[in-house]
Amino acid sequence: MSENIKKIESIFKSHLDTIHKLSSVINNVNEVADIIKKTLHAGGKVLIFGNGGSASDSQHIAAEIVGRFVKERKGLPAIALTTDTSILTAVGNDYGFEHIFSRQVEALCLKNDVVIGISTSGNSKNVVKGLEKANALGAITIGLTGGDGGLIKKISNHSIVVDSNETARIQEAHILIGHTLCELIDENN
């Protein structure tokens, strides 16, 4: 067996092990899905953000909510705070990178909106500050993290923590969780 085949098998096994551990967060995912559905039905919106791969996940999940996931339905309000390069660079330059999400939350978030911060470590400063601002505004905060959940688990109203310390495996689990949330949101709209 070639070294590449062994490596691929190891990666796939690690992925499957992480996905199997998600059974421990099923109730959290269900609770978060219900919160998002209630928020959307009440006229609220979802704001979502993260860095790097988590920024891409934010955009992906927001797109599924606004467009549709599987079921044909009306568009629902969700905004990824990772997409406006003018805002990101202006706020990063004028206030510091750690404020790129909190400033947008301050501008866009209303009480009882849902704000989702994604961080594989649970400790990304800008994600923490964005969630802290959302808490101060009375929004419902959700942390999507890995490892031990980090500071984000402590400051979020609700959290979903992937039981892994491998960034790639956590991100793979995050998109599965995001897709699951989108499918549950689709059911009631």
- Residue 91 burial by Cβ neighbours in a 10 Å radius (0-12, 13-18, 19+): buried
Q: How far apart are CA 125 and CA 137, in angstroms?
A: 18
Residue 189 has pLDDT above 80, yes or no: no
Question: What pLDDT, on the 0 to 100 scale, is given for residue 144?
Answer: 98
Q: How confident is the model at residue 1 (pLDDT cuts 50, 70, 90)?
A: low
Residue 107 pLDDT level (bands cut at 50, 70, 90): very high
The answer to whether 39 and 156 have CB atoms below 8 angstroms apart is no
- Whether residue 187 is predicted with pLDDT greater than 90 in this model: the reply is no
Domain 3-187 has CATH 2.30.30.60: no
pLDDT of residue 139: 98
**Digit-coded pLDDT (tens) for 28-80:** 999 999 999 999 999 999 999 999 999 999 999 999 999 999 989 999 999 99
Residue 140 — φ and ψ, nearest 5°?
-90, 120
Domain boundaries, the chain: 3-187
> Binding site for substrate: what residues are annotated?
51-53, 64, 93-94, 119-121, 124, 171
What the block records as the tokens of 19 is 């996905």
Binding-site residues for Zn(2+): 60, 64, 171, 179
Over residues 164-186, the pLDDT tens digits come to 999 999 999 999 999 999 999 99
Q: What is the pLDDT of residue 2?
A: 87
Question: Would you state the structure tokens that stand for residue 79, as one six-digit string?
Answer: 């905004």
**Is the separation of the CB atoms in 100 and 127 below 8 Å?**
no
- 114-163: pLDDT as tens digits: 999 999 999 999 999 999 999 999 999 999 999 999 999 999 999 999 99
What is the predicted pLDDT for the residue at 93? 98
Name the binding residues.
Answer: 51-53, 60, 64, 93-94, 119-121, 124, 171, 179
Residue 91 pLDDT: 98
Confidence of residue 81 (pLDDT cuts 50, 70, 90): very high
**Interval 4-37: pLDDT, tens:** 999 999 999 999 999 999 999 999 999 999 999 9
Environment class of 7 (CB within 10 Å of its CB; exposed 0-12, middle 13-18, buried 19+): exposed
